[in-house]
C-alpha cells in the first residue's frame, strides 16, 4: 500500500472509466479526492457509487475551458484544505473519423478538452503548488501519442500535445519541486471495449504481447506510483502502460 494520507488530489474526468478507478485507488490509499466531471448528474452518480463503497469524496462540474470558473473552484479547494498536492488531468475525448469527414469544429472540440483544459487546470493550480514548494501534476496521454492512429487525427494530435506539455512543464517547474509526468494507456477495458463483441476483442488481444487487455486498475496503479514519494526523482516521463502493444 502506498500511503497518500493528507494529500489532496484533484482528478478531472473522474466520474467514469479510468478516472473513476484512479479516484477509487487514491481514496483507498488515503488521499482526499475531489472529482471534476462534465455534468452535475455524472458527478453525483460517481460520488454515490464511491460512498456506497465507504469512500468519501467531493465533486464539482466546472467548464474546463472557463478559466475564471476554475480559479474560483480551485481557490475554494485550497482554502478548505490548505494545500493542493496532486492534479490529475484525465478529462478527454477520442475520435476515429477520417479527416475528410471531420469538421474544424469537431477538431477544435477535441483540442479544447484534451489540450486547452490541461493548460487551464495547470495554470490555476500551479500557483498554489509553487507557494507550497511541492506538487505533482499527472496527465493522461495515450499509446497513440507515440504511434499515431489510422483515422481520427485530432485525438493523436491532442495526445502528442499532452506529451509536449508534460515534458516542458517538468523542466519549467522542477526548481519549484513540482513533478510533471504522464501515463500513456494502451487498450483498456473501458465501457467502449466492454461493449464490443468477443470476435472484435480477440484480434485486439493478439496485438498485445502480454496476452490481455489492460484493466482500469492497471492505469490507476501507474498514476498512484507516479503520485507517490516512490517516484520523487521521476519527472518529464511518459509512462506507457500498454502490455507492450505496438500498433
Q: Which domains does the chain have, with CATH numbers?
A: 8-188+216-241 (3.40.50.720)
Beta bridge partners of 58: 34
**For residues 62 and 65, what is the distance between their CA atoms, to the nearest angstrom?**
9
Assess contact for 85 and 136: CB atoms under 8 A.
yes
The string of DSSP letters for 154-217 reads: HHHHHHHHHHHHHHHHHHHHGGGTEEEEEEEE-SB--HHHHTS-HHHHHHHHHT-TTSS-B-HH
For the chain, which residues score pLDDT lower than 70? 246-247
Three-state SS at 10: strand
Contacts of 31 (CB under 8 A, 6+ apart): 4, 5, 7, 8, 9, 86
Model confidence, pTM = 0.96
Please report the pLDDT score of residue 247 as a whole number.
53
**Taking the alpha carbons of 181, 186, 188, 191 in that order, is the dihedral positive or negative?**
positive
Output the pLDDT for position 179: 98
Q: How far is CA 120 from CA 35, 62, 123, 165, 208, in A?
A: 16, 12, 5, 12, 35
Separation of alpha carbons 234 and 108, rounded Å: 32
Q: What is the structure's pLDDT at 143?
A: 94
- Whether residue 11 contacts residue 61, with contact meaning beta carbons closer than 8 Å, is answered with no
DSSP state for residue 231 in the 8-state scheme: G
The dihedral formed by the CA atoms of 59, 62, 67 and 73, expressed in degrees to the nearest 10: -30
pLDDT at 41: 98
DSSP string, 14-65: -SSHHHHHHHHHHHHTT-EEEEE-SSHHHHHHHHHHHHHTT---EEE---TT
Which residues are CB-neighbours of 6 under 8 A, at least 6 positions away? 30, 32
What pLDDT, on the 0 to 100 scale, is given for residue 10? 98
**What percent of the residues of the chain are helix, what percent strand, and what percent coil, each to the nearest 5?**
50, 15, 35
pLDDT value of position 195? 73
155 flagged as catalytic: yes
Active-site pick, 60, 81, 155, 233: 155
Distance from the first to the final alpha carbon of the chain: 33
For residue 245, give Cα distances in angstroms to 66, 79, 105, 130, 159.
36, 43, 32, 37, 17
Q: Write out pLDDT tens, residues 60-98.
A: 999 999 999 999 999 999 999 999 999 999 999 999 999
- In angstroms, rounded to a whole number, what is the distance separating the alpha carbons of residues 54 and 73? 25
Check residue 243 and give its pLDDT: 96
Amino acid at each position: 500500500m502506498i500511503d497518500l494520507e493528507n494529500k489532496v488530489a484533484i482528478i478531472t474526468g473522474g466520474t467514469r472509466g479510468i478516472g473513476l478507478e484512479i479516484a477509487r485507488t487514491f481514496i483507498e490509499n488515503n488521499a482526499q479526492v475531489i472529482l471534476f466531471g462534465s455534468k452535475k448528474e455524472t458527478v453525483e452518480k460517481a460520488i454515490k457509487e464511491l460512498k456506497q463503497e465507504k469512500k468519501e469524496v467531493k465533486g464539482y462540474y466546472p467548464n474546463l475551458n472557463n478559466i475564471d470558473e476554475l480559479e474560483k473552484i480551485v481557490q475554494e479547494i485550497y482554502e478548505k484544505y490548505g494545500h493542493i498536492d496532486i492534479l490529475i488531468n484525465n478529462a478527454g475525448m477520442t475520435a476515429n473519423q477520417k479527416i475528410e469527414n471531420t469538421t474544424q469544429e469537431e477538431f477544435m472540440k477535441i483540442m479544447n478538452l484534451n489540450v486547452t483544459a490541461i493548460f487551464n487546470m495547470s495554470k490555476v493550480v500551479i500557483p498554489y503548488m509553487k507557494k507550497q514548494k511541492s506538487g505533482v501534476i499527472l496527465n493522461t496521454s495515450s499509446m497513440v501519442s507515440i504511434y499515431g492512429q489510422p483515422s481520427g487525427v485530432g485525438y493523436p494530435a491532442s495526445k502528442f500535445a499532452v506529451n509536449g506539455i508534460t515534458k516542458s512543464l517538468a523542466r519549467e517547474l522542477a526548481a519549484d519541486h513540482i513533478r510533471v509526468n504522464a501515463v500513456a494507456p494502451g487498450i483498456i477495458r473501458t465501457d467502449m471495449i466492454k461493449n464490443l463483441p468477443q470476435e472484435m476483442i480477440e484480434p485486439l488481444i493478439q496485438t498485445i504481447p502480454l496476452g490481455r487487455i489492460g484493466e482500469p486498475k492497471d492505469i490507476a496503479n501507474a498514476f498512484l506510483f507516479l503520485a507517490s514519494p516512490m517516484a520523487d526523482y521521476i519527472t518529464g516521463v511518459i509512462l506507457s502502460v500498454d502490455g507492450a502493444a505496438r500498433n
